Structure 1
């Protein structure tokens, strides 16, 4: 009987190992399929935020406690229809079990009891939410017209423009927090979109190239700026938009329609291989599985779209950059690891002005210290666009 029992135990162990291996393979495959789809085609219609009931007493608003309403720095609030309005809220304090925030700025009606969108992105509409005049326009490219917002310099005399580039799955409204500082600096602004992003034309299967081909749409925006009378530009990219901005600096895109004298980067995706591995791990997968999911995701992305990850590895490309770079990244960024920003800053200390923002989440570096961020932005623009006429009333 003993040999028979030993044989049965051996069979059971082999089956257990086989089942474990199969389960591991399935987990890796499913994770990679999801990861590849998100990497290639992620886009959202709405700016991220939460919907909450709002209580009002005088100049104070009272909100349910949540990760968003307890976030550091300003919040934006937009009541749902039929109410019309927008508010910027100041720092929070607890009032019993609810969050109390003062109204810093208000446009329209903010009634007590309204259901409202609340977000650390502050704005979810157009520059009109800030009371700023703008024009809807399009950037014409060989693959279609890309929607854009143009905000001319307040003094009407500026010759420089900032091309503002949103990120992966993002929207133009996410950068409206920075528009007052851009206006004060004296530049015009063009908030652009790129192919396969929300609201822009879908090309082929709608796959993103993570900054590579999208750079051509920013080059088209520089042509738009030249035709509009601008003679120099800075690029301002958020997350994947930062990768797009740096991709524009590659030799194959030169000469530019107008000179690009500087680049500003907020929470940029600089190394997509590392970003994919990081995101596989942050969703809770054990490190060995996350590593395999990340590797297989990269393989799937390349298999489906032909993506060359070397072309969007901006750490590797750092020696080729030749314009000043202003860089912000937050220590609590769970989307893009901060070591990428630190690697770029270490690779090019001669070009990169790096601001490590303690406690900031992804694309929330402004929220931690709005005045400090704005001052850094305005000083950088004054440095790379000498002679620009600032507007201190912007």
Structure 2
């Protein structure tokens, strides 16, 4: 599913020769080019991290791999594990147009597949806001072949897709500040976001004001909802994180996700936290990293 612009990097050499970030150009199953960044684990003490785990970070809408909040998360996570970050389609240096959470699952699958190609046996996806909804759908659609016998193929029949992508599944999923349902307009920030996505003038604002290129077509078909996806992630562990001052999605959203996932999910409701990666401080990011390497 994914390809690296300079060719496949041998699994045995990446961690031994790479001391700083490594950039790559991946390709999603539908041909869209995706920029990605690999950061090696910086843990001084082997007991503080897990050399066999890589965390794949999925940013929120209007973000990118190079945004300061994403880089801060990468720096914190890299103290515990290697990190792969990337820009969703329509964002940053990636190609294509944003579909606001639909085809983005292919971008995440490309990043996960590349992370495994670097020699890591365990992948944890961490998504924020839109990225939080994408990691939920990805966790539902792409299964561990050892768990369900799909031979490395996504469980894509749930959305009518049949893309093959060996190793594109996640071993654990962390969803931060994600919606539980689509088309939510119950808060002023979400009403502004819907205006930006659905109106020509709004898409111009997105392109030139937020450097985000948005597709003009409506979803067809409507993708699996986050709450429906949460119920399908088990047996992979799931962590749901949400702030009690989130201006986009009130607390019924994380509670719906946790209820759908049942005993497979941990729910953290963070006092005083706002929305997504911009509101995630180093203390919370550290706790997430610790959960990711120990769960």
Name the TM tier (shorter chain): 0.5 to 0.7
| Separation (CA, whole Å) in 1 of partners of 2:241 and 2:104 | 22
Q: 1:381: which partner in 2?
A: 292
Q: 1:183-198, aligned counterparts within 5 Å?
A: 183-185=78-80, 187-198=81-92
Pick closer, same or farther for the CA change 1:143–1:254 going to 2, 3 Å.
closer
Deviation at 1:223, TM superposition (A): 2.2
| Separation (CA, whole Å) in 2 of partners of 1:362 and 1:342 | 16
| Separation (CA, whole Å) in 2 of partners of 1:333 and 1:242 | 14
Q: 2:242: which partner in 1?
A: 329
Q: 1:171: which partner in 2?
A: 64
Q: 1:1-394, aligned counterparts within 5 Å?
A: 133-141=20-28, 142-154=30-42, 158-172=51-65, 173=67, 174-185=69-80, 187-202=81-96, 206=97, 208-249=98-139, 250=141, 251-252=155-156, 256-257=166-167, 259-274=169-184, 276-279=185-188, 305-308=217-220, 310-322=222-234, 323-363=236-276, 364-367=278-281, 370-371=282-283, 373-384=284-295
Residue-by-residue CA offset, 1:334-393 (whole Å, 9 max, x unaligned): 1233321121122223122111112221124423xx33x144213312333xxxxxxxxx
Structure (1 or 2) with the greater strand fraction: 1
Q: Which has the larger radius of gyration?
A: 1
Deviation at 1:152, TM superposition (A): 1.5
SS at match of 2:245: coil
CA contact under 8 A between 1:282 and 1:334: conserved in structure 2?
Answer: no
TM-score, normalization: structure 2?
0.68
Pick closer, same or farther for the CA change 1:194–1:148 going to 2, 3 Å.
same
If asked which structure has higher relative contact order (CA below 8 Å, sep 6+), I would say 2
| Separation (CA, whole Å) in 1 of partners of 2:191 and 2:101 | 23
Pick closer, same or farther for the CA change 1:375–1:281 going to 2, 3 Å.
closer
Deviation at 1:150, TM superposition (A): 0.8
TM-score, normalization: structure 1?
0.52
| Separation (CA, whole Å) in 2 of partners of 1:211 and 1:176 | 21
SS at match of 2:275: coil
The runs of 5 or more residues in structure 2 that have no matched partner are 1-18, 142-154, 157-162, 204-214
CA contact under 8 A between 1:267 and 1:362: conserved in structure 2?
Answer: yes
| Separation (CA, whole Å) in 2 of partners of 1:226 and 1:188 | 11
Residue-by-residue CA offset, 1:46-72 (whole Å, 9 max, x unaligned): xxxxxxxxxxxxxxxxxxxxxxxxxxx
Deviation at 1:216, TM superposition (A): 0.8
CA contact under 8 A between 1:234 and 1:263: conserved in structure 2?
Answer: yes
CA contact under 8 A between 2:113 and 2:165: conserved in structure 1?
Answer: no
Deviation at 1:177, TM superposition (A): 2.4
Deviation at 1:279, TM superposition (A): 3.7
Pick closer, same or farther for the CA change 1:145–1:316 going to 2, 3 Å.
closer
| Separation (CA, whole Å) in 1 of partners of 2:77 and 2:64 | 18
Aligned CA-pair RMSD:
3.1
| Separation (CA, whole Å) in 2 of partners of 1:196 and 1:378 | 28
CA contact under 8 A between 1:146 and 1:201: conserved in structure 2?
Answer: yes
| Separation (CA, whole Å) in 2 of partners of 1:329 and 1:139 | 30
Deviation at 1:315, TM superposition (A): 1.1
Pick closer, same or farther for the CA change 1:366–1:212 going to 2, 3 Å.
same
SS at match of 2:126: strand
| Separation (CA, whole Å) in 2 of partners of 1:218 and 1:236 | 10
Residue-by-residue CA offset, 1:109-133 (whole Å, 9 max, x unaligned): xxxxxxxxxxxxxxxxxxxxxxx83
